[in-house]
Structures are given as C-alpha cells and as structure tokens.
Structure 1
C-alpha cells in the first residue's frame, strides 16, 4: 500500500500544482523555462503512475474487502468507462462541441472512470485508489469551472468534430478494455 500511496501523492500532487501551489509552479516555470517545467512534470507524473500501477497490483493481492459489488456492476462500469474514453478523446480533438460544452472533459472523464471503478471494486485498495481519483477530479473540476467563469472564458465548438471524439474514444476503449487493461492491471474486464 505504501507504493500506491506514494504514487498517488506524486501523480495527483503534480497534477494539482496549478490549483494548490500556483506561485511555486510559476516560479519553477520561470526558473526552468517551459520545456524544463514540462520535463519535470512528465518525470513526476510517470514516476507516480508507475508507482500507482505497481502499488495497486501488489496491494490488491492482500487487501481486505469492504463490500461485495453485485456482478452486474461490472457492466455498468464498462458502460461508464466507454463514455469516459469519449470524453478523454474530446480533450484532444480541436474545436469539439463536447469539449466546449464541458470545458474540462479530461477531468469529467476521470470522475466517471473513478466513480464507475469505485462502484464495482469493494476492496480497501480500490477504495483508496479510485476514491482518491474521484475526490481529486471532483475538486479540480469544480475549481476549474469556477476559474473559467471568473475569467469569463467562452468556448465554442462544432458538433461535427465530436464524430472524431466518438471514433477515437471507441478505438481507445476497445484497445484498453480488450488488451491493455489485462497487460497493465492484470484484470481482464471482459471474459476469461
């Protein structure tokens, strides 16, 4: 569990720097330049992610059970995660109506992913992992939307661009659900 907690602190911590430590972040960007900051950000993010995966994988073997989710909850998780992948794709599709409407589709995708996985995983380690991501994404989404309103940020997008988000989301969902989830997490979401 120590590796998982360390991974959460690093990964969520660096992703919270704009929200929790804007002056520190700005000072590092000024000191190191944009590329130096991006390199540092990437290094901390990747280190945190690796620790999350290793920590979750290790702790999952000996964790306690808080609740036993019903079998059908896995189907709900898959459906919600499908929508999360579409939102994730919309983050990177320029001019998407979905991105303009949501404002921060990656944060909404993270909220949906974390909640859906929390519902279908009742172990202590799952509650720590998915509960942490859920709390973080709820806070970041609310703060980001509030900041957008304060800065009067107006976004526009074309509904036609969402077709690209949908197609990319479908491909990413299929790739992750049927191949990468088993490889990275050790759990096969569908069958087997």
Structure 2
C-alpha cells in the first residue's frame, strides 16, 4: 500500500503545483526554461504513475475490503465512465460545444471517472486511488476556473465570454458530433476489451 500512497503523492503533487503555487511555477519556468520544466515534470509524472500502477496491483493481491457496493453500482459506474470518455475526447477536439460550454473537460472527465469507480469498488486501495484523484480534480477545476475569471477581468467585454469558457472559440456542430461519436466508440473498446486486457477486470463480466 505504501507504494500506491507514494505514487499518488508524487503524481498528484506534480499536477497540483499550479493549484497551490502558480507564481512559484511561473518563476521556476522563467529560471529553468520551459523545456527543462516540462522534462522534470514529465519524469516525475511518469515515476508517480509507475508507482501507482505497481502499488495498486500489489494492494489488489491482498485487498482490505471496506464495503461491498451493490451490483447496480456497476451500471451507474459504466454510465458515468461513458460520459467521462466523451469529456476526455472533448478536451482534444477543437471547437466542440462541450469544451466551449463547460471549460476544462479533461478535469471533469477525471471527476466522473474517479467518482464512478468509488461507487463500484469498496477496498482501501480503491478509496485511496480514486478518492485521491477525485479530490485533486475538484480543486484543480476550481483553480482553473478562478484563473479564467482573472483573465476575463483583464480583457475587454467582447473577449470575456470566450475566456470564461476556457478560451474556446465558437462551437461547431460537426466537431461536437465527432466528439460524442469518438467518445462513445472509445468507451466501448475500453469497456468491452481493453479494461480486461490491461487491468484484468471485466466491467460487464
């Protein structure tokens, strides 16, 4: 369990710098240069991710059961995860309405993914892993929206709405439909095949 906890501290810690120390981050990038910052950031993120994967796998071999979720929670989790996949795709498809309306869809996707897995899993390792990501996503989203509002205050009224929604341009119906279709397809591949192949658990089996 200690490797899982250490991995969460490293991974979520690195990804929380902008939440708790945005000015320090800016100053460090100015001193080191953007390339060096990204290099250290990526290496620490990779280290944290490896520790999380190894730690969670070890914890699953001797699970500490805290509660037993009802079977119906699996169906709720599947629906929430489907929505999370659509939001994840929305973070990368330009000019889709989800990103324009919600702002920061990737962080929202992490929220749904983590909450879904808390509903359907009841071990201590699950609580640490998915609970940790859920708490991080909540604070990260609040921080990102706060930065958006600060940017709006420094803009003319004409530019303010776009900045308030994460700086996204006007939405395209084609891009929005493509986002939903790709998200649904990605979820289907992961739910019916990749989840079992990579994680060893069949969501629908």
Q: TM-score, normalised by structure 1?
A: 0.92
The answer to whether the aligner puts 1:171 opposite 2:185 as a matched pair is yes
Once residues 23 and 101 of structure 1 are traced to their aligned partners in structure 2, the CA distance between those partners, rounded to angstroms, is 28
Once residues 32 and 182 of structure 1 are traced to their aligned partners in structure 2, the CA distance between those partners, rounded to angstroms, is 42
1:142 Cα deviation after fit: 1.6
The count of aligned residue pairs is: 191
1:150 Cα deviation after fit: 2.6
- Secondary structure of the 1:67 match is coil
Alignment of 1:9-24 (within 5 A): 9-24=9-24
Once residues 62 and 159 of structure 1 are traced to their aligned partners in structure 2, the CA distance between those partners, rounded to angstroms, is 49
The alpha-carbon distance between structure 1 residues 28 and 171, as it changes in their structure 2 partners (threshold 3 A), is: farther
The answer to whether the aligner puts 1:49 opposite 2:49 as a matched pair is yes
Contact 2:19 2:139 survives alignment (8 Å): no
For 1:89-136, what per-residue CA distance to the aligned partner results, in whole angstroms no more than 9, with x for missing partners? 000011111101111101110111111100110111111111111111
Once residues 194 and 47 of structure 2 are traced to their aligned partners in structure 1, the CA distance between those partners, rounded to angstroms, is 19
Contact 1:14 1:44 survives alignment (8 Å): yes
List alignment gaps of at least 5 residues for structure 2. 153-162
- Secondary structure of the 1:190 match is coil
Contact 1:107 1:137 survives alignment (8 Å): yes
Runs of 4+ in 1 over 3 A off after TM superposition: none
Once residues 198 and 56 of structure 2 are traced to their aligned partners in structure 1, the CA distance between those partners, rounded to angstroms, is 11
The answer to whether the aligner puts 1:140 opposite 2:154 as a matched pair is no
Contact 1:98 1:159 survives alignment (8 Å): no
The alpha-carbon distance between structure 1 residues 38 and 179, as it changes in their structure 2 partners (threshold 3 A), is: farther
Q: Rg bigger for which structure? A: 2
For 1:119-169, what per-residue CA distance to the aligned partner results, in whole angstroms no more than 9, with x for missing partners? 110111111111111111111112211221232124432233111211221
Q: Which moved more, 1:154-163 or 1:139-148?
A: 154-163
Superposed CA RMSD: 1.5
Q: Which moved more, 1:72-81 or 1:138-147?
A: 138-147
List alignment gaps of at least 5 residues for structure 1. none
